[in-house]
Chain A
Amino acid sequence: MDIVHWLADPFQYSFMQRAVLEVLLMGLTCGIIGTYVVLRGMAFIGDALSHAIFPGVVIAFLLHISFFVGALLFGLITAVTIGTLSRNRRVSEDTAIGVLFAGMFALGIVLISGVRGYTADLASFLFGDVLGVSNEDILASAVIGLLVLTALILFHKELVLVAFDEEMADAIGLPVWLINLGLLMLIALTIVVSLRAVGNILVVAMLVTPSAAARLWTDRLKVMMLLSALFGGLGGILGLLISYHTDRAAGGMIVLTVTAWFGVSLLVAPRHGALSRLLHPASASPRAPDAAPLPAGQPIDGGQ
C-alpha cells in the first residue's frame, strides 16, 4: 500500500472527514494555549479543569441537551473556583484543587452510573468519540477555537507581562487576578473543544505535550505557539490515521503520537535536545556564569 492511499483513502468516508476537521481544530487550539500551560507550569490545573468538567458533560447527557452547554458551564464554574482558591493564601492551592477535581469527577461517575448500561457512554466521555462528531460539534469547536485565538491576540501583552513578571503587572495597575482567571477560562474553553476528540482523561496531554515539544525547538514565544499548534494539529491528524489503519482507539492513538514526537524532540531538537548537548556541550548551557542562581546564604529580603 503506498503512502498516498494510506493518507487519502480514509477520507472517502464522511465520518473521517468530520473527524479530521475536529482533530485539527483541537490540535491548533490546544497547541497555542498550551504554550501558556507549559510556560506557567499549569499542567496540574489543566488536568483538574478537565476532570471537573466531567459532571457537566454527564448532566447535559442526562438532560438531553448539547454537551457543550454542560461542559462550558462547569468549565467556567471550575475556573472561577480555582481562581478564587489561588487567591487565598491560607489554603494550599495544590491540595484544594486536588480535592475539588477528584470530588467533581466522582460526582460525574455517580450520576452516570444511574443510567442502565452506562459503560459505553462513560467510555465515550472519558476517552473521546471523534468518529462520532457531528457538523454542529465541528462548528462549535471552530467558534470556540476562534474565540480563544482572538482573546490570546487581543490580550497578548497583558498575558505575557503577567506570566513573566506578575509584580510589575500589579505595579502598573493590571488586574492580575482577573487576567489569570481569564486565562483559566480560555483553558476551560479549549478543554471543552477537545472533549469529543480525546475525552476528559487525555485532554491534558494535548494541552501540555505539543507545547513541551515546541519548547525544545525554540526560544521564541510566538514561534513556540506556532510550532506547538503545528505539532498538535499534525499529531492529531497522524494519530487519527494510524488509529484508522490499526483499528485502535483514536483519542489514545492521537495522544501517543504527540507523545512520541515529544520523545523524538527530546533527542534531536537543535538547542535543547540530548544529541545537540552531546555534540556541543558548551552551547547547551547558554547562560553566562554570573547569571547563575545566587549561592546559598545570599540574603534575599523575604518579600519584606
Chain B
Amino acid sequence: MIAAPSLTIQTKPNEAAPAVRILGMTVGYDKTPVLQDTNLEIGWGQIVGVIGPNGAGKSTLIKTILGTLRAGTGSIDIGGFPTGSREARNMIGYVPQREVVNWDFPVTVADVVMMGRTGRLGWLRFPGSVDRKIVSDSLAQVGMSNFAGRQISELSGGQQQRVFLARALAQGGRLLLLDEPLNGVDANTQETICALLHDLRDGGGTVIIATHDLELAASWCDKLVMVNHAVVAYGPPAEALRPEVLRETYGGQVLVVPSLGDGRENESRTVVPDAHGHPGGQPPPGTHTKVLR
C-alpha cells in the first residue's frame, strides 16, 4: 500500500546544523509565558515525541518551531536557518490538528495536497506538471490515490489525517511537524502513518510529534521531550518515561501504582491526570496507562 519512500527533498540543510536548535527561548501569549527558558537540540534522522499535560506547551513548542508563534526571547534555528526564514519554511512539512481547518470550505483531496505546494510556488504562479506529479506521489505514499477527486469533508477522520500527511509530504521538507496526529484516527491509518514516518526517519528526515498518547510515544519515538512550561526531560523513552520524570511533567499528580495480579513485577500502572488536572481522573482518551519502566 505504501509506495517506496521517494520523498522530494528540495532543500539541502546545512549538513552540520541540527534539525532544530532552540536556545534560551521564552514564548507565550499576551505576555504570559507558556514555555520558559527552553533549550533543545534535535538532530536529523529521528522521531521525537513532545509529551506533557494539556496547556503545558506542546502545541506552543510545535508552533514556535513552525514559525507561526514568535518567541519573546531566544533563538530557534531550523537546519541552521532562523525560524520564519524562507529556507527554514521550505524545510518544514506540517500536519495541523484537524480541528483548525474550515470544514465548510469545499475542496477536494487533490486540492488539499496541492496546498502543500503553495509555499514553493510563490505568488502569481499556477501549479504545473511537476506539482501535479508530487501531489499524486504524495497521495500514493499515504495510500489515498483513489480518493484524489473526493471532497475532503466526506472522508473519515483517518482518511483526512492521511491527506494532511500527504500535504505535508508535498511541501517537500525534511522536518515533519505533527500536532496530535492520531486524534480520532483508525488503527489502519495509525499503521500507515507509523510506517511512513519511520521511512522518513530512515531517509534522514526528522519527525516531531506532539501527542498525549504515551503508548504511541513509547513505541514510535526515538526520543521524547517532556514538557511542562519548560523542558523537563529530553531523552529516549526508557529514560523520559520514568515515574519521577512523569511526576515532574504532570505536576506531581501522576500516581504510579503497582499493577496487581498479573505476576509481572516490572510493570506498573501510571495514571495521568485528566484535562482538568484532577489527579487520578480518567486518563485522556488514547492514553494507555501502562508505561514502560
Binding site for B on A (CB under 8 A): 39-41, 154-155, 157-158, 160-161, 163-174, 215, 218-221, 224, 286-291, 294, 297-304
Contact = CB atoms under 8 A, between A and B. Distances in A.
Given A158-B123, A164-B107, 15 more contacts: A41-B104, A157-B114, A157-B115, A157-B127, A163-B105, A165-B96, A167-B68, A172-B118, A174-B118, A288-B156, A289-B156, A290-B156, A298-B184, A303-B29, A304-B57
A39 B114 CA distance: 20
Q: Which 5 A-B pairs have the closest CB atoms?
A: A172-B119, A288-B156, A299-B275, A286-B154, A165-B101
Contacts of A170: 68
B116 to A, nearest CB: 8
Most buried by B among A173, A287, A302: A173
Interface string B140-179: 0000000000010111111110000001000100000001
A90 B124 CA distance: 34
Interface of B: 29, 34, 54-60, 66-68, 84, 86, 89, 92, 94, 96-97, 99-102, 104-108, 111-112, 114-115, 118-119, 121, 123-124, 126-127, 151, 153-160, 167, 171, 179-180, 183-184, 186, 210, 212, 274-275, 284-285
Nearest to B68: A170
B55 A304 contact: yes
Contacts of A169: 118
Contacts of B284: 299
B261 to A, nearest CB: 30
Contact of A160 (B56, B104, B111, B167): B111
A41 B184 CA distance: 27
Contact of B115 (A40, A161, A286, A300): A161
A288 B180 CA distance: 21
B100 A304 contact: no
B113 to A, nearest CB: 12
A298 B66 contact: no
Most buried by A among B68, B94, B96, B123: B68
B94 A168 contact: yes
B109 to A, nearest CB: 12
B89 A304 contact: no
Contact of B160 (A286, A291, A294): A291
A167 B100 contact: yes
10 contacts: A160-B115, A161-B115, A164-B107, A165-B115, A166-B100, A169-B118, A172-B89, A219-B106, A290-B184, A300-B97
Contacts of B118: 157-158, 161, 169, 172, 174
B94 A298 contact: no
Nearest to B227: A304
Nearest to A164: B105
Contacts of A161: 115, 118
A218 to B, nearest CB: 8
Given A301-B55, A304-B56, A171 B115 contact: no
Contact of A173 (B59, B84, B183): B84
A39 B104 contact: yes
Nearest to A89: B30
A167 B124 CA distance: 21
A224 B106 contact: yes
Contact of A290 (B58, B167, B186, B285): B186
A265 to B, nearest CB: 16
A77 B160 CA distance: 40
A301 B59 contact: yes
Contacts of A297: 275, 285
Contacts of B275: 297, 299
